[in-house]
Structure 1
Amino acid sequence: MEKKKLLRKLPKIDELLKEEEIKSELENTARALVIDALRTSIDNYRVLILNDSIENFKKEDILKDFKNIIEENKGSNFKKVINAAGVVIHTNLGRSLLAKKALENVINVSDNYNNLEYDLKKGQRGSRYSHVEELIRKVTGAEAAVVVNNNAAAVMLVLNTLCKDKEAVVSRGQLVEIGGSFRVPDVMTFSGAKLVEVGTTNRTHLYDYENNINEFTGVLLKVHTSNFKILGFTEDVSLEELVELGAKSNIPVVEDIGSGTLVDFSKYGFTYEPTVQESIKKGVDVVTFSGDKMLGGPQAGIIAGKKEYINKMKKNQLTRALRIDKMTLAALEGTLKYYLDEKEAVENIPTLYAILSDKSEHKKRAQRLKRKLQSKVKGFQFIIAEDYSMVGGGSMPVEKIETYVIRVKNDKFSPKELEKELRENKIPIIIRVANDEVIMDLRTMFDKDFDDVVDAFIILSER
């Protein structure tokens, strides 16, 4: 049929509104949403006609397209995805998953009035930070703590409080980009501190700091480069040396430890990563770290350290602008409670469990998923193989975690096409493509997702 005839065949919205299934939809959906979906469906078919993508269509085709559009519009843009990519702390997929206690706390404070800023013992206004400060002190050994909405905000608040209109001395090799084009030098500048770079990219000595200390120096800053490593001809100033220099010069030492590691991973066979507790024990005045990376909690920027400095930050007007809400506080409290017993933390915090669980467990899970797939999906080949997962989230960049994966082979779809189809599934499945193969990593998948994965492949096999 010619284009003009097909275009004239497109129904009017008033005509579609008379259809029984549209009338039925109007009983449960706002008229404006229904009309918008009808208009979109008609426009979709107009584009198909103009692009010579169809030779004919029925009114039922447009109604079917409408149904898909209205269902998608009713759903949330913020949706569950299945992480089969093997990156544990996946920045694009929401980073760390919350532990059971954290989720229970969030529901409890969200579903009820709560004592967010009310001291129940004194019967008067209290501080929202009191709900987690004592826990942070117990876990880290710090004298005091305050929490803001992310680690970049934490660094900014610390520098604005201790170093506004003063100089912050930092090694040139530690001026990292922390993701999303946000860079440590930019955060520092915005805080009102003047950046003083010392040393070179690969080598910084203690005398580089000493030679740049003057009456305008506000802090000595150390930034843990958790998202990259410089190897080879390198040298850095130890934390102990910097603390000693700070004490001698009466200048606070601030460390941005970034990932917020509270467990010594070297005990479990991983590369050593500095912990918050160690920094506090070594005498660092203020430590900042993230809540949703290695700590395994909600997005937050945690500031722990000497009471005299933390109290100043609590009085800073920026603290109110950067403060966290009741749900984040509840999730953080629920997460931190596990850290009172490291064994509990490792077993119950999803991020720690995903990193530290033995690969043999994931081999058994891969076998279960493969059996499900093979029994119901035709035309695909599923192969179990050993591979490596990544920690992700800018943490432990050179660390590889032994795992088991399922490699998918199929003659109908190229790896690129299959990746797209799975990503656009009703419940998106995010995989990785390597060596021209689609790979599903069991370390970051859940048993509860297996049936959804099988359903996605059944749909693809029937095309």
Structure 2
Amino acid sequence: MKHLYKKIPKIDELLNLENVKKSLKLYPREFILEILRDILNIYRQKIKNGENIEINLNIISNVFDEELHKKSQKNLKRVINATGVIIHTNLGRSKMCKDAINHIVEVAENYSTLEYDLENGTRGSRYSHVEDIICKILGCEAALVVNNNAAAIMIVLDTLCKNTEVIVSRGELVEIGGSFRIPEVMKFSGVILKEVGCTNRTHLFDYENEITENTSAFLKVHTSNYYIDGFVKNVKVEELNVLKNKYNKIIIEDIGSGTIVDFSKYKVYSEEDLVQNSLKNGADIVTFSGDKMLGGPQAGIIVGKKDLIEKIKKNHLLRALRIDKFTLAALESTFRCYLDEKYAIENIPTLKMITYKEEDLKFKAEQLLDLLKDLKEFSIEVEENFSIVGGGSMPKTKLKTYVLDLKHDRFSPEDLEVKLRNSKIPIIVRLEKNSIKLDVRTIEEDEFKYILESLVELRCY
């Protein structure tokens, strides 16, 4: 085996390979050298292990191309979402609208008025860029934005309720993604938690019975990702408003998903409360996410009474939780879409996917089927199925959709899922009933060609 070591080429020889020379024009020299050294080290290890291997420049050239492709890939990359989960937390939640993307690019490529008041020529507030448009859309007195909804509820409680009692229904003491729990957030904010009611039933008198001189607020929390049916009772904001006025307390609602469109107008069932309705019904402060039902960037949006928002703006935590210029740009452009609801439905991807007409989805599925029909090694059919909204939003809602059911004559569904997930542009699919499902609701038409390319490449295996 020792004679094989002599066959290992020198780095200088590899640098003269045509594909390596081309790559040196595109990538740093040290990056290319590292790849070549790694390849040669793999050969040395195989020889050491007693493997009888073939070594020639053609093989090394092909291995180099494969390694270059792998190592030049970014860790955070685009994928094709074929799962039918619209707000897919693991895949980045909501896709942003073109208006938001263009605005991000504009402020990224240029200097901006991030904290500059053009009218007075003085330092300005970054939050002023979004506060007016948020208030206009939601009809609230004031607004503030931090980096996510957990941060929003934390700074609200820290500012308005520190060292006081906050009453919450036991049925709303939720755990959200990543094991973040509302009781822990409250504890971190310096709040004394007062649990009332039972898991399935809480009454207005439960809240009233726990009110003391040290009670500052009632907290309502959106129950993300689950719901309880059957023998249940929840106290609504408008009911709590009676106690608020009677005892001079405040109502804070973490509404979670941030729905501001009445989806019943589009024949879509939604149990989500509208942000606007929560404010009208008596909530003094409402917090919600920017990257869920709103269809914007990750952000924690705080809206409500002006005097309370002004207090939150003075909290030193705000500096640690503030949003950057890209989030501001995306959020402003997203809210501007809502000036015309029809425009928002057509141009904000999350809203468009939720309100898709069944006939349009069927046509889309048939288009994809037609594109893939010549792949003889596949059995492909269009089927009716259901999509979900995802991201903890509208957990009761199932949206009728159309999927392509894929089976391969050699690969099991599990093997096929892995190969699609490892495509040049990863395709994330649904594995269901011993076959692969591609839900066209969350696939863009310009992604069809990439799906075709990935399936054709399977012939090489």
Q: Check conservation: 1:380, 1:461, Cα contact below 8 A.
A: no
The letter of the residue matching 1:384 is V
- The CA deviation string for residues 13-45 of structure 1, in whole angstroms up to 9 with x for no partner, is 565445454344334422321222123334555
> Which segment drifts farther, 95-104 or 285-294?
95-104
CA shift for structure 1 position 362: 1.3
Secondary structure of the corresponding residue to residue 396 of structure 1: coil
Which segments of structure 1 move beyond 6 Å, counting only runs of 4 or more?
Answer: 47-54
- The CA deviation string for residues 289-330 of structure 1, in whole angstroms up to 9 with x for no partner, is 000000101110000000010000111111111111111111
Q: Check conservation: 1:81, 1:429, Cα contact below 8 A.
A: yes
**1:284 aligned to 2:280?**
no
Closer, same or farther in 2 for the Cα pair 1:110/1:21, shift >3 Å? closer
Q: Check conservation: 1:156, 1:187, Cα contact below 8 A.
A: yes
Counting only pairs closer than 5 Å after superposition, residues 19-418 of structure 1 correspond to structure 2 as 19=17, 21-45=19-43, 56-267=54-265, 268-375=267-374, 377-418=375-416
> Which segment drifts farther, 360-369 or 46-55?
46-55
- The CA deviation string for residues 200-239 of structure 1, in whole angstroms up to 9 with x for no partner, is 1111122221222222222210001132101111111121
The letter of the residue matching 1:266 is S
What is aligned with 2:453?
A: 455
Distance of 1:52 and 1:166 partners within structure 2: 71
CA shift for structure 1 position 273: 1.4
Secondary structure of the corresponding residue to residue 179 of structure 2: coil
CA shift for structure 1 position 371: 1.2
TM-score when scaled to structure 2?
0.94
The letter of the residue matching 1:327 is F
Q: Check conservation: 1:161, 1:312, Cα contact below 8 A.
A: yes
Closer, same or farther in 2 for the Cα pair 1:45/1:444, shift >3 Å? farther
Distance of 1:271 and 1:336 partners within structure 2: 21
The letter of the residue matching 2:104 is V
Distance of 1:442 and 1:215 partners within structure 2: 56
The letter of the residue matching 1:147 is V
Closer, same or farther in 2 for the Cα pair 1:77/1:215, shift >3 Å? same
TM-score when scaled to structure 1?
0.94
CA shift for structure 1 position 462: 3.8
RMSD of the TM alignment (CA)?
Answer: 2.1
CA shift for structure 1 position 48: 6.3
CA shift for structure 1 position 74: 2.4
Closer, same or farther in 2 for the Cα pair 1:274/1:187, shift >3 Å? same
Q: Check conservation: 1:265, 1:273, Cα contact below 8 A.
A: no
The letter of the residue matching 1:382 is I
Q: Check conservation: 2:8, 2:55, Cα contact below 8 A.
A: no
Distance of 1:255 and 1:404 partners within structure 2: 36
Closer, same or farther in 2 for the Cα pair 1:272/1:70, shift >3 Å? same
Distance of 1:51 and 1:152 partners within structure 2: 53
Closer, same or farther in 2 for the Cα pair 1:180/1:51, shift >3 Å? farther
Distance of 1:57 and 1:224 partners within structure 2: 62
Closer, same or farther in 2 for the Cα pair 1:379/1:43, shift >3 Å? farther
Distance of 2:366 and 2:182 partners within structure 1: 45
CA shift for structure 1 position 7: 6.7
The letter of the residue matching 2:212 is N
Secondary structure of the corresponding residue to residue 272 of structure 1: coil
The letter of the residue matching 1:249 is Y
Distance of 2:13 and 2:451 partners within structure 1: 40
Distance of 1:6 and 1:195 partners within structure 2: 71
Distance of 2:275 and 2:411 partners within structure 1: 47
Distance of 1:257 and 1:446 partners within structure 2: 30
Distance of 1:106 and 1:154 partners within structure 2: 23
The letter of the residue matching 1:404 is Y
Secondary structure of the corresponding residue to residue 87 of structure 1: coil
Closer, same or farther in 2 for the Cα pair 1:16/1:152, shift >3 Å? same
Closer, same or farther in 2 for the Cα pair 1:283/1:382, shift >3 Å? same
**Structure 1: any 5+ residue segments left out of the alignment?**
none
Distance of 1:12 and 1:164 partners within structure 2: 68
CA shift for structure 1 position 63: 2.8
CA shift for structure 1 position 50: 7.7
CA shift for structure 1 position 435: 0.5
Secondary structure of the corresponding residue to residue 391 of structure 1: coil
**The one of 422, 425, 446 aligned to 1:424:** 422
The letter of the residue matching 1:326 is K
Closer, same or farther in 2 for the Cα pair 1:38/1:280, shift >3 Å? same
Q: Check conservation: 1:172, 1:197, Cα contact below 8 A.
A: yes
CA shift for structure 1 position 5: 6.2
Distance of 1:385 and 1:274 partners within structure 2: 32
CA shift for structure 1 position 75: 3.1
CA shift for structure 1 position 346: 1.3
**The one of 437, 443, 446 aligned to 1:445:** 443
**Structure 2: any 5+ residue segments left out of the alignment?**
none
